[in-house]
Chain A
Amino acid sequence: MKIIYGLTGAFALSAVALAASAADELPACENCVDELTIVSWGGAYSNSQIEAYSKPYSALTGVEIINDESSNEAVPKLRAMNEANNVTWDVVDVVASDAIRLCDEGLAMEIDADEQLAAAPDGTPASEDFGDLLVSDCFIPQIVYSTTFGYRTDVEAWGDNTPEDVCAVFDTATFPGKRALEKRPINNMEWALICDGVAKDDVYDVLSTDEGVTQALDKLATIKDDVIWWSAGAETPQLLADGEAVIGSTYNGRLFSVIEEQKQPVAMLWDAQVFDLDGWIIPEGLSEERKNRALHYIKFATDTQRLADQSKYISYGPARKSSAPLVGQHAELGIDMAPHMPTDPANATNTFLYNYEWWADNRDDLDAKFQSWLAQ
């Protein structure tokens, strides 16, 4: 599916006004093409990018932007394009673990953050402003999201109990009912170990051993009969809304829309939320002119103000430290977005740091074991 828009009529005027402040800072792009193909996830997420980044950029530069919603199959498609020597995408939105994979495969271009990305308004270089979130040489972080739990607030069988921590998921005696968990080992294995008494810092050390894997799977086995396994992020909100599941994991933005936009009796359980990142990569193998345009766009779209603007449309936290104070209200609902950010101090009292390097190494192996366990 592709949506093409250019510089037209009223929207262009308003966008120009909106982006007027940025105009002075945006240097012209030298030796660049006038067309840009951006690949993202579609839906509300793509919308937030179009509103916060692409429209102002088009208005300032007159570049025609083509939106392609193929991010969920970006990795195999990029590999196929690379093998066919015909890369048609300029900028691709992927999760961090995919960025690492693409970087390893030589399918994404390496980026020098300080050279090629905008510094913070106070002059802090980009590498410091993004900090630890630059998890790969090819990855330009954009948002922080988290995988966390939502639960129904009207379950009669629970009596007066409300889930307070993540281990409620494993407590089927106090909190009976179906759970929705993602059909992959990532996150589930970590939560299982944490709730089996493993200290947060030791999780990956334990998981590196065969005994640790068995321990995690055994813990998951205690609730296996009560789990509905999902593979698309939209499933959990639906299962919760239908009452088919009483507690389930998904991306925090999905839960935000179930709770705030659709007003379902669902609440967030931020405990042990697992931070993950989403951001841009530029494919390897672009012509010089296209590469320049892609870099020019990226520098604009990941500056402090643009990242803060995006959070008006979706409840994901901006990846720059300098953007956090600029987060405002939801563009349509008019509610403050800060309390809905996974990075908000009140929500982030107990978070779990996802180890990209470890999963890049062990994902295939653990996935085989996990799937084999599921099939038993």
Chain B
Amino acid sequence: MSASTTASSNSSISGSADPLTKDGQPLKRSLARALRREKLRALFLIAPLLIFILISFVLPIGDMLFRSVENKIVEDTLPGTVRALASWDADSGELPDEAVFAALADDMMLAQEVKIHTRLGSRLNYDQPGISSVFRKSGRKIKALDNETAQAGFIAIDPAWDTPDAWTALRSMAAWPGKFAATAQSWKNWEAWYLSEEKEALDPTTTVPHGFTYAALYHDLASMPASDITALANSKNTTAVALFKQLAGKIDTIGNDDFKAQFADIDKGWADIDNWQAIQRLSPRIVDSYFLAAIDAERTSEGIEQKPDNERLYLKLFVRTIFMSLIITGSCILLGYPVAYLLANLSVRASNMVLILVLLPFWTSLLVRTSAWKVLLQQQGVINDLLVWAGVINEAGRLVMINNMTGTIIAMTHILLPFMILPLFSVMKTISPTYMRAAKSMGASDSLAFWRVYFPNTVPGIGAGSILVFILSIGYYITPELVGGTTGVFISNRIAYHISSSLNWGLAAALGSILLILVLALYWTYDRIVGIDNVKLG
């Protein structure tokens, strides 16, 4: 390193050529090459670990966290509806127009065929309670929708519309798919539906699409200015020219099936503007709704707002989780410090015995230890019985020590205590007894010598233990679930609920991301205040 800087500074001052090595290479390049080889070799050695961490840790966690914003299910399930709905003004107070309902009918026809409509329903239900049954019910009845009015209308104008040639001509036009966005989407749906229903790919030279696609074509044409249709009649394709010449001026006679009314008959949920607002709000492929829910907020027509009081939960739980983790860390320091001190200052033989006592509970099943606390702490439990027997409290005044915050703090302090004692012990063991003797020989009292000499030397151990205990406790959920009652549960209990019970993985991922950010922020603060270099794990 210093050689290369000297070399470069030399060259810049004298302006002469770079110094060369024996084999005539410039020294700088040869050094760099040697260093690069070193680095590559080091990288090669840690590659297995790196790849392992990447594959088994970073990627899955990244994938899970990405779910907190990912939302492609709406557009994937209802592509035509999402497209048609984009132009709807959600605050207009009116339901979307018929074109949207026609697209919905078409999308739902395909979705129920491949059985994904209920999945979308349960996704939307997280943000819009009640919508899942709207989708579930509609799936069963969608096949019965009248959908052939538009088709009949086209055929009445020109029987050629009943032939595959008409569609082949339409699809070969320059204006396809640009001018026929709804029809093109509907055609894709039709192809997918055909594949699923008939188990073979569609042959467009022999089949005409179902009524929904004619309805989409009608809505595409109805939304065009008349001049556009005249322009289409000037296409190079002669079949198309014939078709559109016939159509010009007659679009109004085609008619449609009034899907809006039919959907309202299937389920009144389709006539509910709130549901449509939810679908529109959740149309983008990346949404913030999970993160908003995770901080007790929601998006309303007036923007982002706090949820009503009786639905707020998560912020409270985040605060409680951090607060209780701090208390648990504090209790661990208070209880663990004397034990570690004892361990460090006993004879090797005796300290090994104590160490085993410290580790023994560590090797016992977590559930057994937690259940043991239940036996001890409950109102008809050992401690209360003893206190009543000793006359400290009377029968009516039995203490409530479990199924609340106290229970969680006691049980978790016990469980996490070894994580505090062990780093403290390893740090204390390295503190030479001569320091204390020196302090005392210079006239310090016992307590002064302890606080001014011994204690500062143990701070790295306290730091390491605190970080371990704090980070472990912030993510705990089994113990709080068992002994926490209602006031002693953590945010992780809700994450577990959303992963395993409500299946709302997006919200679980959002809560998890926030928890991760909180931990990183606290770690950063800790580093700024105490300095991470001052942490010793052993």
Question: A: which residues have CB within 8 A of B?
Answer: 73, 75-76, 79, 101, 103-106, 110, 178, 183, 214, 217, 228-229, 231, 242-244, 357, 360-365, 367-369, 371-375
Complex contacts, A105 vs chain B, CB 8 Å = 118-119, 122, 503
> Once the chains bind, are A362 and B115 in contact (CB under 8 Å)?
no
Complex contacts, B116 vs chain A, CB 8 Å = 106
CB distance from A52 to the nearest CB of B (A): 29
- The A/B interface has a contact count, at CB < 8 Å, of 85
> Once the chains bind, are A375 and B132 in contact (CB under 8 Å)?
no
For chain B residues 301-333, which have a beta carbon within 8 Å of chain A?
Answer: 310-313, 316-317, 320
> Once the chains bind, are A374 and B503 in contact (CB under 8 Å)?
no
Complex contacts, A373 vs chain B, CB 8 Å = 310
- With contacts A363-B502, A372-B311 taken as known, whether A106 is within 8 angstroms of B403 at the C-beta atoms is no
> Once the chains bind, are A101 and B481 in contact (CB under 8 Å)?
no
The contact of A214 among B122, B310, B494, B502, by CB within 8 Å, is B310
Write out, one digit per residue, whether chain B residues 129-173 have a CB within 8 A of any chain A CB (1) or not (0): 111110010000000000000000000000000000000000000
> Once the chains bind, are A76 and B403 in contact (CB under 8 Å)?
no
Q: Quick one: closest A residue to B130, CB to CB? A: A361
Complex contacts, A374 vs chain B, CB 8 Å = 486
The contact of B311 among A76, A101, A178, A369, by CB within 8 Å, is A369
The contact of A229 among B121, B125, B485, by CB within 8 Å, is B485
For the complex, is B394 an interface residue (Cβ under 8 Å from A)?
no
The contact of A361 among B125, B381, B500, B503, by CB within 8 Å, is B125
- With contacts A105-B122, A372-B311 taken as known, whether A183 is within 8 angstroms of B486 at the C-beta atoms is yes
> Once the chains bind, are A244 and B494 in contact (CB under 8 Å)?
no
Complex contacts, A372 vs chain B, CB 8 Å = 310-313, 316
For chain B residues 431-480, which have a beta carbon within 8 Å of chain A?
Answer: none
Q: How many residues of B contact A (CB 8 A)?
A: 39
Question: B: which residues have CB within 8 A of A?
Answer: 115-116, 118-119, 121-122, 125-126, 129-133, 136, 310-313, 316-317, 320, 378-381, 403, 481, 485-487, 489, 494, 497, 499-504
State the CA gap A75–B496 with chains docked (Å).
13
State the CA gap A101–B504 with chains docked (Å).
12
Q: Other CB < 8 Å A-B pairs besides A228-B403, A364-B129, A375-B317, 18 of them?
A: A75-B500, A75-B503, A76-B500, A101-B122, A104-B119, A229-B486, A242-B380, A244-B378, A360-B133, A360-B136, A361-B129, A364-B125, A367-B497, A368-B313, A371-B494, A372-B312, A375-B313, A375-B316
Q: Quick one: closest A residue to B132, CB to CB? A: A361
- With contacts A75-B501, A101-B503, A229-B485 taken as known, whether A106 is within 8 angstroms of B118 at the C-beta atoms is yes
> Once the chains bind, are B119 and A369 in contact (CB under 8 Å)?
no
> Once the chains bind, are B133 and A361 in contact (CB under 8 Å)?
yes
Complex contacts, A368 vs chain B, CB 8 Å = 311, 313
> Once the chains bind, are A371 and B118 in contact (CB under 8 Å)?
no
> Once the chains bind, are A104 and B118 in contact (CB under 8 Å)?
yes
> Once the chains bind, are B136 and A178 in contact (CB under 8 Å)?
no
